[in-house]
Structure 1
Amino acid sequence: MLINNNTQALSTVEKLKRPDMDPANAAASTLYSGALQTAQQSVSVPAAQTQLDKAADRIDEAFAKTRVQLQASTAATPATTDVPAAGSTTSAARADFTDYMSKTPAERIREQLLKEQGLTEAEVQTMPQEKQDAIAKQVADRLKQQQEQQVAVKTAEPQAQSVKETLAAI
């Protein structure tokens, strides 16, 4: 029997016995991993990617539509910007707001009631006195309801606050 004590020859034989170093296994592993990656990309990635692309296209389309609408509305009404025109001290919206806020609650309720009924102040002035009194009574009733609601909210808040404090103490 022949015994080879040459360590270099033994290491070469051992290297060939390792499965990861076997040329056939390496080739099969490469082919398998390549085929697996190709199969995964062809099955899942394109389907998901097309859905993502469609969603991105819809988002881009919505932004484009919004931009076009904003540009069209800006071009159509250049005087209705928030910046006051030269020479004016307040914008129309600010003037409307200050006019509304300067009214008393009764005046606001009367204006709202007339708007709901489709009436103007001039039409009310031409009405018979009974109808004018009926409108005034409706305004008074709504004002009373509004005040009762405000009182109810203010009286409910301390009770709710005391309940919260009690629960917090527990």
Structure 2
Amino acid sequence: MLVSAQQQAMILLPKRPGEDPTAEAASGLQSAALQALRDNVQAQASQGSTQVQASIARQATQQVNAATAISDKVDEAFAKTRVQLQTVASSASDEAKTQGSSALDAFKDYMSKTPEERLRDSILEEMGITQEEFEAMPPEKQLAVSQEIAQRMQDKTAMAQVEKDQESRTSGKDPATDMFFASL
């Protein structure tokens, strides 16, 4: 079964005037109704055009006033936000400068210490004692704390040496071999 893809155009022949009396009557009534409607709209337009124009003018001025008020409020809110951001930014930058300088000072202090002083400070921290508290202690107590610090330093040094020896054994390197390669 073949289906044609072409569509056939249907052409309707117009009826000749006078052949269908009902169509002519409907057409006449329709044109009369349209004419009456046009006349009515024109009459209302001529009478109400001044009223409509005045109403449109009032609405336009109200809209302009509302738009101006909104624009003013937006500008005011923007200005307030900008001032707040500037004050927050300036206070934050001041804070950052003070914190940055204190952090920098703390880092410089730490780096200026010898490894022994760093170890001593870490042991004091483990004990929960600050340097100021240590200096404020009576001499007998300072001596006891100093002995404890010396003992812990020896223990940490011994533990570091044991770890180093274990590491060299597990890696299979001989210290003599390392010295030989270092001399090359």
Higher relative contact order at CA 8 Å, sep ≥6: structure 1 or structure 2? 1
TM category, shorter: 0.3 to 0.5
* TM-score normalized with structure 1 length: 0.39
Structure having the higher Rg: 2
